[in-house]
Amino acid sequence: MVDLAIIGGSGLTRIEGFEAQRHETVNTPFGDASAPLMHGLLDGRQVLFLPRHGVEHHIPPHKVNYRANVWALRKAGAKRIIGVAAVGGISSQASPGTVVVPDQIIDYTYGRKHTYFEDDLTQVTHIDFTDPYCESLRQLLIGAAQQAGVPVVLEGTYGATQGPRLETTSEINRMERDGCDLVGMTGMPEAALARELDLCYASCAVVANWAAGRSEGPIMMKEIESNLTGGMKNFFKLLSCLPSDASTPSM
């Protein structure tokens, strides 16, 4: 039985050690997911995997069908989701290559389909989003990282921007004043949609670069790719230490 799903971001279109068994195209009321869901084994555990940007990494962050992705994973049996994201580091602790398990999020996106509760309603629905991530799953990720010997930052605020362009220095300065430690483009509405469907969701953020104005010169894609390679290796180590018999955590 599968209950754990992994959504892969930039740098994670395939999981090291994942034995794919079958692909499943799930029909949703919200259109197509980014790719067929991959069912398979990871260290003996049944896992679902979905590349957020498509198998060929061709879907930009503002065009991802987040509603279809999350809905499809739940329909396929997922009860908890690890959303892996490549991010920029704003605070000093979020250096390139670091793995961060954020505990808060600020949404700067716009124009995205961000809720399931908008059509044919009998009443307006408001979810509690005080703590946007599932704390039980966060602790599992942190514990697995520590067991694997992977340096991990235990908390932080993820600032979700629209993309696909990177941010200006002044935008990052504003985000720092707002309390953001990380900047990424896919954290929302993914986290909120999972909460609307009563799924346990946590983010595992791999810092790919310093955010704008936090290092000398422009942000170079070669640097991002190099840091992602090392960061994703740490993520794979973390995954291998997730307890296979852990019960489904509560939010």
pLDDT tens digits, 54-68: 988 899 999 999 999
Contact 44, 18 (CB under 8 A): no
**pLDDT tens digit sequence for 135-158:** 999 999 999 999 999 989 999 999
Contact 200, 79 (CB under 8 A): yes
The length of the chain in residues reads 251
For the domain made up of 4-240, the CATH class stated in words is: alpha beta
**What's the Cα-to-Cα distance from 58 to each of 34, 109, 206, rounded to whole Å?**
9, 20, 20
**pLDDT tens digit sequence for 120-138:** 777 778 899 999 999 999 9
Identity at 41, one-letter amino acid code: L
The pTM is what?
A: 0.91
Identity at 75, one-letter amino acid code: K
Report the distance separating Cα 71 and Cα 168, nearest Å. 34
Q: What is the DSSP letter of 247?
A: P
Neighbouring residues of 250: CB distance < 8 A, sequence distance ≥ 6: 134, 136, 200
